[in-house]
A = this chain, B = another copy of it.
Amino acid sequence: MEERRINWKDLYDFVKRVMMRLNVSAEDAEKVADNLVLSNLRGIDSHGVARLQRYVNGIKTGYIIPDAQPEIVKENAVLANVDGHNGLGQVAATFGMELAIKKAKDSGIGMVTVFNSNHYGFAGYYPLMALKHDLIGISMTNAAPLVVPTFGKNALFGTNPIAVSAPTKKNKPWVMDFATSVVPRGKIEVYNRLGKELPEGWATDETGHVTRDPARVLRNLAEQLGGGILPLGGAGELYGGHKGYGLGVMVDLFSAVLPGSNFGPFVVTKKDGKTQFPRVGHFFMAIDPDYFVGKEEFKERMDQYIDILKNSEKAEGENRIYVHGEKEFEEHERREKNGVPLDAKTVESLTKISQEYGEEIKFLD
């Protein structure tokens, strides 16, 4: 198979139809499609439709219940704890973020945790929802264990991302969205496909030493032989690896320890050879700046901060300082116009799904 391009609307439609074939309601299928396709539009291909096969497998294997509906189990005016009932992550997460937004509009802040969920797509999706209401948005999720703690040998927690958004008036909104590890697993996979050595300090091998061999890291992770991805800040404490390790645990704390979901090494779909619910946990928050400095003033202040960062002097040899979210908004515009590029592996997996479910997929070229 070769690389292809596809119109985002056709891609959205395909994902929706496939989900519906798997007993997902039209409404919920749209949530999954919107999340995956927006990830591709924004250039975050690791969390886009490349994941569709895993969702299909999850439903077929039984650890994702396609028609499960989220349920509020505790709630007051500003907070809620939601049981995802092991359904699609996007369904429980969209429900959670919408609830946080509603509470923030009514009371200034809304904080919602979700337990018993699954992979929820790209973390930035949910803060982007808050922007539509001129709110600050926050989202975190835990994930399958891939990251080693400082001085540890085994991967004990996930790449646990943090995403935060802030509305602006003139500039594109500020949207930060990243794994709390040095890199996400997808980056190691890219190096492996290209046959390139890893930069020193991304990952460790089964002895706990830093390794530059991407194939070894991926095999060790898949077979749980030890080693894994290093936390942001790298190996040891010299460059602040303990800080990334702390952030990873912090995301688990808010996303899973607090709501009562699986945390750390327990976020797995298989135990003793048997399939189980991974019970992923999420955290969502929305804040209305009107309860603080004021909505308009907040947006103007964000613009001012962004302008200062972007217009400040560049380091020698550099010609641009980015602000968070900027690259993604630009990519979104390009891909909306020119189509979404899909790598050969993703084209292959989508074609296979297309054949399996008899749902046509139309590429641009």
Complex: chain B residue closest to A201, CB-CB: B239
A322→B151 CA distance, assembly (Å): 8
User: Inside 8 A of A294's CB, which chain B residues have their CB?
Assistant: 260
Interface: A365 (CB within 8 A): no
Interface: A357 (CB within 8 A): no
**Interface contact A150-B263, CB-CB below 8 Å:** no
Complex: chain B residue closest to A238, CB-CB: B199
Provide the A192-217 mask, 1 if CB < 8 A to any CB of B, else 0: 00000001011010011100000000
**Interface contact A154-B246, CB-CB below 8 Å:** no
Interface residues of A in 170-208 (CB under 8 A from B): 174, 176, 178, 180, 182-183, 199, 201-202, 204, 207-208
Interface-facing stretch out of A11-19, A247-255, A336-344: A247-255
**Interface contact B108-A252, CB-CB below 8 Å:** no
A164→B62 CA distance, assembly (Å): 36
Task: Sort chain A's interface into a size bin.
Answer: 35 or more
**Interface contact B302-A257, CB-CB below 8 Å:** yes
**Interface contact B108-A78, CB-CB below 8 Å:** yes
Complex: chain B residue closest to A209, CB-CB: B316
Most chain B CB inside 10 Å of its own CB: which residue of A264, A287, A321: A321
Distance to closest chain B CB from A217 (angstroms): 14
**Interface contact A292-B322, CB-CB below 8 Å:** no
Interface: A259 (CB within 8 A): yes
Interface residues of A in 238-287 (CB under 8 A from B): 238-240, 242-244, 246-247, 249-250, 252-253, 257-260, 263-265, 287
Residues of A within 8 A of B (CB): 74, 76-79, 81, 107-109, 111, 113, 115, 136, 148-154, 156, 164, 166, 174, 176, 178, 180, 182-183, 199, 201-202, 204, 207-209, 226, 232-234, 238-240, 242-244, 246-247, 249-250, 252-253, 257-260, 263-265, 287, 289, 291-294, 297-298, 301-302, 305, 308-309, 312-318, 320-324
